[in-house]
Structure 1
Amino acid sequence: MTTILDVKSALLEALGEDRVRDGDSERDLHASDLSFHAPHRPDLVVYPGSTEQVSIVLALANELRVPVTPFGVGTSLEGHVIPVHGGISLDLSRLDRILDVSPENLTATVQAGVTRLTLERAVGQHGLFFPVDPGADATLGGMAATNAAGTTTVRYGKTRANVLALEAVLADGRVIRTGSRAAKTSAGYDLTGLLVGSEGTLAVITEVTVRLHAIPEQAVALRISFPDIESACRTAAGVVAAGSGVTRVEFLDAWIVSAVNAYSETSFPEEPCLFIEASGSEELVLADLALVQAIATAEGATEIITERDPDARARLWKARHEAANATAAKFPGTKERATDVCVPLTELAGAARFARAEIERLGLNAGIVGHAGDGNLHIAVQVDTSEIGLSEELVHNVVDDALARGGTCTGEHGIGLGKIGALEQEHGDLIPLMLAIKASFDPNGILNPGKVLPATTSTR
């Protein structure tokens, strides 16, 4: 029988001592992510320095039936990187080279461990930017694996829409390349699109070619307060339906605004609000701002503040991105249970109202934020150990409501550990097809076992 010492010995021989670690501190670092899910240590942490080394690790793990869980920087929110069956945590942070920036083609190719802000700095020198902004400084490989989204999705789409090609390593160690640097393709099945969002269960992504965009000529932000949740959400839906090209449409309920004020030392009215940004040419921005203000006024907005100064805009978006830290600071000693759903825009107001009512009914400390421009609501619940059951009830009820409205159990966070049952509820008839795809890519079930699919089991 193969032991973990056998695995460690084989990896040390293949990769060298600086690549394979089993110390307590490193195993603890790779035992959890930002989610509330219980941590679980890997047996080994491996730091490959190249695609070839990833291939060696996977070929060996597949032969010895050892689970492998890819790890970026640990910012996932549904337990994606928790090695629930032990084995190897494959830390890709040393694959950190920007391989190519092509301003003429509006593309960049990077290794999986390059972080979003590192890429931003590199392409910014060419007047370009990568448009997907999940808030955290996640790795590009992790963003591809989870199909990350964020505040700019309403304009630019999620990660999948911005990935042209991938290099990935299959469970048996084979290296594949999907897609190309061309702007579009109709060549065969869309394996790039399949691997983006597969959460490390089908292959390990080692290289990504992404779309870039020109930095807009001008950007202006609006902060708009409303008397109630419904009017804020109707405004968000109306702005998109009217054909506005705004870059961001973010919703914060009054509970979140209160937490943000305390944490970020802001003084926003503690009412439901929208943070909206318009960008592009001066003419386009003026037209979008006029449209947004007209719709917000018709919905009874209580305050409309325009932020043109870059520093003021930066402070506004910093406050939005710090919402999770703000809620945690409001209730020290608790843990955040984050969840998200996504609904058609016409259902956004009803979904937000239902979520707020359920929070109040269950007596939980929770707030709602959302990428309202695409119908994505996030609920941040601060819980102690006695409230886990109530938070589970909240998540279950909010998912039920979203599905009844024609929505989905997650628009952004993914399935991971926390929403396997919700995936079955939403797509039960498709689970056999998903299992068949999993078996085709990973017949021995070594890649991130225990995630996404109900039948994924330990290989050991």
Structure 2
Amino acid sequence: MPELAGAAQTLENSTGSAGVEGLVSTLKDSFGERCGTSAALREQHGHTTTWIETQPPDAVVFAQTTQEVSDIVKLCAAAKVPVIPFGTGTSLEGHVNAPHGGISIDVSQMNRILDVHPEDLDCVVEAGVTRKQLNSYLRDTGLFFPIDPGADASIGGMVATRASGTNAVRYGTMKDAVVALTIVMPDGSIVHTGGRAKKSSAGYDLTRLMVGSEGTLGIITEITLRLHGQPEAISGGVCPFPDVQTACNAVISTIQMGLPVARIELLDSLQVRACNNYSKLDLAETPTLFLEFHGSEAGVKEQSEMFSAIAEELGGGPFKWATAAEERTRLWTARHDAYWAGKSLKPDADIMVTDVCVPISRLADCVQATADDIQAEGLLAPIVGHVGDGNFHVQVLVDMDDADAVRRGKDFVERLSLRAIDMGGTCSGEHGVGQGKRKYMEREHGNALGLMKAIKLALDPDNIMNPGKILP
């Protein structure tokens, strides 16, 4: 849009609210109905699926190409107005909030799958493509994209938050899945961070810098992803345990023995009850592991039998496993719906949802200490987690009108975050930092936080890219 260059020059001479108003007017002239300022639309784009207060932007623009994102950012840079990227809005730590106002750039209409290279096991997608959309497209190629957070998140958002999921124990997280990126930088320039080669030792690894940056360094518009072949055989099932510590010890033994489990998920007894009610399961209401093995017919059978022996030795079981796709799908759909199942325990409550990750050797200690803390505080808070890589989540159901309950919930989340850091772990295994976990960044990173600030300042001196996130 060449006409926007003159508008950018005009906006450079505007300040404060006049600059914002002029910017919104220019965007409406340029994008028409794709630039909205209604209260409902702005509220939606500041809303998060958790308890953090909604802070709406001044306007929302629906971009359709990388060049359009670039044009919008150039205008915002000229006016020194914040830019907040928005994919599907499923993030959990206030990432899409606009604490200083600004323009929300919604990339949901950038949802084209640009190329698939089956022979190279990779593909190129726009940022608004969702994980379910991508796997549906790949179904007939014999390939799949394994990263599966609970929500049908956008790929761009998953890159920005360094997302994970149930398959991470075998296939890794988004940092392992991303080959290269196209980024719109804070000045509106367009940068490509690499090619499709499996490895490179040429220059700084800008791709990894951007993965997990949460829109604070630039806006991700295109992603080159690693894909995997669909396994020949899949076996999965459930295994009950008498308590969470025994279940976690079974996980630790499984990982330390090198058993190539694809998924291994913990649900405490409260979460099992929630899933039974919400997803119509009939599991015993006791701590339970959901598992899945990928490989050959003989391999998955052997792996299932080995895990069954581990569980039995530790006092768990029996492990009920099945290869029928319908039965597995029912179980994993229930697992992915755990957030909504947990909410169904107290429908009128808000959820303080949090996650941490610790070294696998400290998993049992951390989960047990957390369960004890929940009981001591009298909280309603199911535990569920991708425990194969030491990551677990807690959903604290709280009445936000009850000041004492809110205080106890926040204090619990803080103790959990600090406990994980002190065990050599992290305050966020996959949800990201956003606004909710900023206060723990110095405790976790120490002097390295100063380096992060220096990088942010160098790339975004006017602090327009998703300000108020990650850095305290």
> Is the shorter-chain TM-score for this pair beyond 0.5, marking a shared fold?
yes
TM-score by length of 1: 0.97
Question: SS of 1:3's equivalent?
Answer: helix
Asked whether the 8 Å contact 1:79–1:418 carries over to 2, the reply is yes
**Which moves more between the two structures, 258-267 or 72-81?**
258-267
Equivalent residue, structure 1, for 2:32? 17
Question: SS of 2:246's equivalent?
Answer: helix
* Distance in 2 of aligned mates of 1:35 and 1:123: 32
Equivalent residue, structure 1, for 2:363? 348
Identical counterparts, % of pairs: 44
* Distance in 1 of aligned mates of 2:261 and 2:311: 14
Q: Does 1:276 align with 2:294?
A: no
Shift of 1:85: 1.3
Shift of 1:31: 1.6
* Distance in 2 of aligned mates of 1:402 and 1:30: 31
Q: Determine which of 172, 179, 193 is the counterpart of 2:187.
A: 172
Residues 119-158 of structure 1 deviation map (CA, whole Å, 9 limit, x = unaligned): 1011111011001011211111001111110000000000
* Equivalent residue runs for 1:409-424 within 5 Å: 409-424=427-442
**Which moves more between the two structures, 206-215 or 418-427?**
418-427
Shift of 1:10: 2.0
Equivalent residue, structure 1, for 2:156? 141
Q: Determine which of 5, 11, 23 is the counterpart of 1:7.
A: 23
* Equivalent residue runs for 1:11-410 within 5 Å: 11-13=27-29, 15-385=30-400, 386=402, 387-410=405-428
Question: SS of 1:365's equivalent?
Answer: coil
Aligned length: 453
* Distance in 2 of aligned mates of 1:16 and 1:114: 21
Question: SS of 2:193's equivalent?
Answer: strand
* Distance in 2 of aligned mates of 1:400 and 1:10: 46
Q: Which ranges of structure 2 fall in alignment gaps of 5 or more residues?
A: 1-14
Aligned residue identity for 1:163: V
* Distance in 1 of aligned mates of 2:109 and 2:312: 51
Q: Does 1:440 align with 2:455?
A: no
Asked whether the 8 Å contact 2:31–2:61 carries over to 1, the reply is no
Q: Does 1:427 align with 2:445?
A: yes
Residues 224-278 of structure 1 deviation map (CA, whole Å, 9 limit, x = unaligned): 0000111100111111111111110100111111111111111101100100100
Runs of 4+ aligned structure 1 residues displaced above 6 Å come to none
* Distance in 1 of aligned mates of 2:186 and 2:19: 20
Shift of 1:222: 2.0
Asked whether the 8 Å contact 1:257–1:271 carries over to 2, the reply is yes
* Distance in 2 of aligned mates of 1:362 and 1:181: 51
* Distance in 2 of aligned mates of 1:282 and 1:317: 20
Question: SS of 2:310's equivalent?
Answer: helix
Shift of 1:341: 0.7
Question: SS of 2:319's equivalent?
Answer: strand
Aligned residue identity for 1:410: S
Shift of 1:18: 2.6
Residues 322-369 of structure 1 deviation map (CA, whole Å, 9 limit, x = unaligned): 111111111011011110111111111110000001111111100111
Q: Which ranges of structure 1 fall in alignment gaps of 5 or more residues?
A: 455-460
Asked whether the 8 Å contact 1:227–1:302 carries over to 2, the reply is no
* Distance in 2 of aligned mates of 1:264 and 1:371: 19
* Distance in 2 of aligned mates of 1:238 and 1:210: 32
* Distance in 2 of aligned mates of 1:261 and 1:48: 41
